[in-house]
Amino acid sequence: MPVAHRLWREARERNGLGDRDLVELADRWGIPEGRLRTVANFYPRFSEPDAAGEGTAFACEGFFCGLAGGGRATAGDRAFSCPGMCDRAPVRWHPKRGFAAGTAELSEPAWDPEVELATPTVFRLARTPAFFTASAGESVAGDLYSPAFPGLRGETLLEEIGRLGPRDRRNPAVTLAERWRRAAETAADQRFVIAHAGPGDPGSQANRQLMVHEAARLLRGMECCGRAIGATEGVIHVGSENPATTAAVEEAVNRATAAGFLGTSFDVTVVPGFGSYVGGEETALLNAVEGRRGEARVFPPEPEISGLFGRPVALAEAETFVLLAALGETPVVSPATRLAAVFGDGFARPGLAEIDGDTSVRAVLEAAGVADSAWGLLFGGPRGTLLLPDEWDLLLDPAEWVSGDIRPGNWSFYALTADHEPRDVARRLLDYAAAENCGKCDPCRLGTLAARDLVKSGREPRRFGDILTAMEMTSLCDFGRQIPGPVRKLARAFGEKIFARA
């Protein structure tokens, strides 16, 4: 078992790992203490005394919970990395009692174990619905687990996927077939398929819903991908802060194994996460799955060449695999179909929007009832794109985004309204990035802090620009490269509100 996972098991058994525990475990496991601590220190949850016990609540200190006025309400509260419940922001979490949501609940939380799995409203804005069209509750095992694109494998299957043309969710400039072909073509004794819920931010809400309610399609999509690249092992990575989701996914895997779909030519393991790993960065995810520090790795080589344990991986969010399975069933489904979280107080009717390439931003905003005072849209979360009202006619089709200015991030929609000060938004974005980054590379680790301090002081806009440029240009991974996008646009559009003393 990887080191982090062993630590997690011990942390739960011992109600948190203290100094002595680590010394003892290092000795018992024959792992040098420094090496063990290096892993343990990365995951604050391992040392939380209440990691599995009664008592203290955890307050999410993610970006959206921050914007919604969240944070540690009582002195006893502990910081908690984003569990992806941004649609309920601000949230608090209790290991035994579940989540409590909303500002009103800060002092007297109403714990609700069900809230994690509660299904939000789904707006169907795509022409052909692809998601939630088959119920996971159906017991018709034969239908539920018929392979996607049966009979095809390897290059033939990759060609078929390439012909249909689904794209990578985070980086739509690349098609899945292109990415996966590299994994297929890299010589290896073993390859892996990894599905994850995306970063601990609103993107994970959509993915989590799909993991729970479209589990069969998720597994079929993963199996199909395995056939395409020659992998027999699949991994689903779910945060341990989403216990209900984890249980549902494990249950689905067990059912699929019992039905004979898994366990013969393709296996799936559910691997827990211990607090979000650097905003969904893929190489950091690989480290987390391997039980190391969830830090970005240097690349190239890309994960498709050297991914999990040095083997090639095909790695995507759950949505991608569900969509793949759906494409195999219904040829009319658009490969640009996405499930997007639309959330926050800026909307009268928040929920999940199923969109495709013909949906415009404005259509989503109108369907969800955007507030009149909205002055901006944060599309794609902290690493996405700030869209100002004159840009809202944009079509949600990556093929249209020629300039490369639009980054869809996690495809979520959050409206910035009269309740939000541009300067506060910029500061919280940088606060979040400073707290959430992995600490591996200097521009991200130090640049986020330095930029945040400049926003706080309201001075030196030129230097501010230089720092953002250094982050964009030199950061090791996409986290540091993409954080400056929305911040810079805020500064450009509302410069005088941010750098008042410039």
Partner 1 sequence: METDGTAPIAILNGREVEVRPGDTILAAAKRLGIDIPTLCHHESLPVQGGCRMCVVYSAAHERPLAACHTPLEPGMDLLTHHVSVERLRKTLMSLRGATADATGFSAAGVRYGRYAALASLYGGGDGGKNGDGVSGYRDRTHPMMRFRGSACIDCRLCLEACEELAGQSVFQLGGRGVGATVGIVGERTFSESPCVACGACAEVCPTGAVRGSDGAYGSLEEYAVETVPTVCGFCGVGCRMEGVADLEEGENVVRVAGIRGAAVNDGLLCQRGRFGYRFQRSWDRLEKPMLRQGAGFREVSWEEALDFLEGKLRTVLDESGPGAFGAIASTRATNESVYLLQKFCRSVIGSPHVDSAARLCHVSGGEALRRATGASVGTGSFADIEAARCIVVAGANPDVSHPVLGNRIRRAVARGARLVVLDVRWTEMAERADVFLQVSPGTDVAVFHALALALMEGGHLDRGGLLDRTEGLKAYEDFVAEFPVEAVEDFAGLRTGSIRAAAALIGKARERTLFLYGLGLTQQFHGTGAVESLWNLAVLAGCVGGRGGGIMPFGGQNNLQGCLDLGGATEWLPGHYPARDPEAVSLFTEAWGRLPDPESVGPGLNSLQMIEAAAAGRLRALWVQGHDLLRSLPREDFVAEALGKLDLLVVQELFYTEMCAKAHLLLPSASFLEQDGTFTSAERRIQRLAPVVPPPGEARPDWTPLVLMARRLGVDWKMLEASQIFAEIARLVPDLFGGVSHARLREEPDGLQWPCPNADHPGTPTLHTAGMVTGKARFFPVDVPLSIEHRVPDYPFLAMTGRALEHHNTGSMTRRGPARNLRTADTVELHPQDAARAGIADGARVRVESRHGACVAIATLTPRIRPGALWLTNHFPQTHANRLFGDVADPESGCPQFKAVAVRVEPAAKG
Torsion sign over Cα 369, 87, 409, 71: positive
- Listed in sequence order, the residues at least 6 apart from 462 whose beta carbon sits closer than 8 Å to its beta carbon are none
Min. distance of Cβ 232 from partner 1 in angstroms? Answer: 25
The nearer residue to partner 1, 137 or 300, going by C-beta atoms, is 300
The nearer residue to partner 1, 33 or 77, going by C-beta atoms, is 33
Residue in 227, 237, 293, 489 binding partner 1, rule: CB under 8 A: 293
- Which two three-digit tokens encode residue 140? 């018709």
Site for partner 1 contains 279 (CB under 8 A): no
Any idea what DSSP says for residue 349?
Answer: S
Site for partner 1 contains 18 (CB under 8 A): no
Site for partner 1 contains 22 (CB under 8 A): yes
Min. distance of Cβ 439 from partner 1 in angstroms? Answer: 3
Residue in 5, 14, 16, 33 binding partner 1, rule: CB under 8 A: 33
Min. distance of Cβ 255 from partner 1 in angstroms? Answer: 36
Site for partner 1 contains 135 (CB under 8 A): no
User: Rounded to 5 degrees, what angle do the CA atoms 202, 204, 205 make?
Assistant: 70
Min. distance of Cβ 432 from partner 1 in angstroms? Answer: 10
Min. distance of Cβ 205 from partner 1 in angstroms? Answer: 23
Which amino acid appears at position 267 of this protein? D
The nearer residue to partner 1, 44 or 162, going by C-beta atoms, is 44
Q: Residue ranges of the alpha helices (H) in 230-347?
A: 243-258, 282-289, 318-329
Please give the residues from 455 up to 474 whose contact with partner 1 meets the rule CB under 8 A: 463, 466-467, 469-470, 472-474
The nearer residue to partner 1, 142 or 300, going by C-beta atoms, is 300
- Which two three-digit tokens encode residue 395? 């079509």
Min. distance of Cβ 300 from partner 1 in angstroms? Answer: 6
Alpha-carbon distance 334 to 168, whole Å? 14
Residue in 172, 234, 447, 484 binding partner 1, rule: CB under 8 A: 447
Alpha-carbon distance 245 to 501, whole Å? 48
Site for partner 1 contains 35 (CB under 8 A): yes
CB atoms within 10 A of CB 254: 12
The nearer residue to partner 1, 43 or 145, going by C-beta atoms, is 43
Site for partner 1 contains 168 (CB under 8 A): no
In angstroms, what is the C-alpha Rg of the chain?
Answer: 22
What does the CA dihedral 261, 226, 338, 236 come to, rounded to 10 degrees? 70
Alpha-carbon distance 308 to 320, whole Å? 19
- Listed in sequence order, the residues at least 6 apart from 419 whose beta carbon sits closer than 8 Å to its beta carbon are 345, 346, 373
Site for partner 1 contains 441 (CB under 8 A): yes
Site for partner 1 contains 44 (CB under 8 A): yes
Site for partner 1 contains 390 (CB under 8 A): no
CB atoms within 10 A of CB 408: 24
Residue in 9, 18, 29, 38 binding partner 1, rule: CB under 8 A: 38
CB 70 within 8 A of CB 90: yes
Alpha-carbon distance 10 to 94, whole Å? 19
Residue in 435, 458, 459, 497 binding partner 1, rule: CB under 8 A: 435
Site for partner 1 contains 399 (CB under 8 A): no
Residue in 210, 216, 396, 434 binding partner 1, rule: CB under 8 A: 434
Alpha-carbon distance 363 to 150, whole Å? 36
Q: Which residues bind partner 1 (CB under 8 A)?
A: 19, 22-23, 30, 32-35, 37-38, 41-42, 44, 278, 293-295, 298-300, 434-443, 445-450, 453, 463, 466-467, 469-470, 472-476, 481
